[in-house]
């Protein structure tokens, strides 16, 4: 009895195995299941990505200037908004104050000298009049007799006027230096820092006393290679992203591309110094989260057009030529293609795929030319 039971179980197991093998062969014969797509017309843009640094649209940095004078007083505080032309600091210059007093005395002395000469001339004119009225002398004789004295006084007056002019010119120069004792804001902006140096050391002299910046309309600057300058022009759109502010992006446009290359070249390619050109991007919108000095990635839209595109997931590249897999008569067919620009997850297809072709997307690793596949 037990023997019959074991025989029955063995037969049932054999039948199950045979059915499983048959089902497996049928599934294998159909080939792997694949997802397909078709080429379509879409708008595509070519993007150039370069690193950049956020900068203020305008700024003023004031350093100590011992040649002009010592800092007397800072008239602004950090965070304060100032208008262009506002006096933000004053200087003290004892030597200049001494020169001002000396110049005042020199001007006063020159004017006094001229006044004295004018009085002498008047006295000489009175003398000439008195002499001409004397009997037997006359006007001509009196004038001739006093002519040397008149010439001497006229010469002295000319020299005194020259001396006065020189002192007045010196006064103008001193006045300009005196104006420099008032440091004024050259822009309208916010005081980013204002700190009087603790000492007069060289290190302290290299630290800014006042830093004013215009936070509105900030810019970002980067460097373009020779080749990239041919693809970039003013007015092109830019998207900026910063690792410091995740999930946030800013819009911008190219505002300036330098005609001359960067002077301090440090990049070296193939043993030769690489030439790079500064590019400036004007950032639009709310820039409150951006700060000067932030490092950003700038995506410059260099080319925008309508083209025939496929998802990047449909493209394969083994180092020879790019290719895709089409589904033809239930089999995968390897098809070489010619590609154009790439934008995001799309790529332009110039040649190799026609409308209506079924293109495999995210094909399995074992996918190869001629393999039978099932479209899902």
How far is 232 from 229, CA to CA, in rounded Å?
Answer: 5
pLDDT tens-digit series, residues 314-333: 898 877 789 999 999 889 99
117: number of Cβ within 10 Å: 20
pTM: predicted TM-score of the whole model, two decimal places: 0.57
| Same topology between domain 32-45+305-375 and domain 48-57+217-304 | no
3-class secondary-structure state, position 149: helix
Nearest CA to 149 among 131, 166, 176, 174? 131
Domain spanning 32-45+305-375, CATH architecture: Beta Barrel (2.40)
Q: What angle do CA 135, 138, 143 make, to 5 degrees?
A: 135
Query: What does the CA dihedral 155, 161, 165, 166 come to, rounded to 10 degrees?
Result: 50
pLDDT of residue 32: 83
Cα 170 from chain centroid (whole Å): 42
pLDDT of residue 294: 94
Q: What are phi and psi of 208, to 5 degrees?
A: -70, 140
pLDDT of residue 222: 95
pLDDT of residue 81: 94
Q: Which residue ranges make up each domain of the chain?
A: 32-45+305-375, 48-57+217-304, 58-91+181-215, 94-180
Q: What is the mean pLDDT of the chain?
A: 85
Q: Could you give the percent of the chain with pLDDT greater than 90?
A: 44
pLDDT tens-digit series, residues 196-220: 876 655 555 678 899 999 988 899 9
pLDDT at residue 27 tops 50: no
Segment (H or E) for 296: strand 295-311
Among 110-119, 253-262, 362-371, the minimum mean pLDDT is found in 362-371
Among 149-158, 223-232, 338-347, the minimum mean pLDDT is found in 338-347
356: number of Cβ within 10 Å: 7
Domain spanning 48-57+217-304, CATH architecture: Beta Barrel (2.40)
Angle 138-179/94-133 helices, nearest 10 degrees? 170
Look at strands 210-214 and 189-194 and give their pairing.
antiparallel
pLDDT tens-digit series, residues 38-79: 999 888 888 889 999 999 989 999 988 888 888 889 999 999
pLDDT tens-digit series, residues 346-373: 899 999 999 989 999 987 878 888 898 8
pLDDT at residue 8 tops 70: no
pLDDT at residue 186 tops 90: yes
Which region, left, alpha or beta, applies to residue 262 given φ > 0 means left and ψ of -120 to 50 means alpha? beta
Name which CATH class applies to 58-91+181-215.
mainly beta
3-state helix, strand, coil in the chain (%, to 5): 30, 40, 30
Whether 42 and 306 have beta carbons less than 8 Å apart is answered as yes
């Amino acid at each position: 009895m037990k023997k019959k039971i074991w025989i029955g179980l063995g037969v049932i197991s054999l039948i199950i195995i045979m059915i499983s093998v048959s089902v497996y062969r049928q599934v294998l014969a159909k080939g792997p299941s694949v997802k397909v797509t078709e080429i379509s017309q879409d708008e595509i843009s070519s993007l150039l990505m370069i690193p950049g640094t956020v900068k203020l649209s305008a700024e003023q940095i004031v350093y100590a200037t011992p040649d002009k004078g010592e800092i007397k007083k800072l008239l602004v505080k950090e965070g304060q908004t100032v208008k262009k032309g506002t006096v933000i600091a004053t200087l003290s210059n004892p030597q200049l104050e001494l020169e001002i007093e000396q110049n005042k005395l020199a001007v006063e002395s020159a004017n006094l000298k001229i006044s004295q000469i004018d009085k002498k001339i008047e006295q000489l004119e009175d003398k000439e009049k008195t002499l001409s009225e004397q009997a037997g002398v006359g006007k001509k004789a009196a004038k001739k007799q006093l002519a040397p004295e008149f010439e001497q006084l006229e010469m002295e007056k000319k020299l005194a006027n020259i001396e006065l002019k020189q002192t007045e010119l010196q006064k103008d120069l001193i006045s300009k230096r005196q104006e420099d004792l008032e440091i004024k804001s050259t822009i309208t902006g916010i005081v980013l820092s204002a700190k009087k140096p603790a000492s007069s050391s060289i290190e302290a002299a290299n630290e800014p006393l006042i830093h004013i910046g215009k936070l509105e309309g900030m810019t970002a600057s980067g460097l373009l290679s020779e080749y990239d300058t041919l693809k970039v022009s003013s007015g092109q759109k830019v998207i900026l992203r910063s690792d410091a502010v995740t999930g946030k992006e800013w819009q911008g446009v190219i505002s300036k591309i330098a005609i001359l290359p960067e002077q301090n070249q440090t990049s070296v390619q193939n043993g030769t110094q690489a030439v790079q050109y500064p590019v400036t991007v004007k950032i639009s919108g709310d820039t409150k989260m951006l700060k000067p000095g932030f490092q950003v990635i700038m995506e410059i839209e260099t080319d925008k057009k309508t083209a025939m595109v496929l998802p990047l997931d449909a493209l394969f590249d083994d180092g020879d030529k790019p290719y895709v897999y089409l589904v033809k008569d239930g089999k995968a067919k390897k098809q070489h293609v010619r590609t154009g620009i790439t934008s995001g997850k799309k790529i332009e297809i110039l040649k190799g795929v026609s409308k209506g072709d079924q293109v495999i997307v995210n094909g399995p690793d074992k996918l190869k030319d001629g393999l039978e596949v099932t479209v899902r």
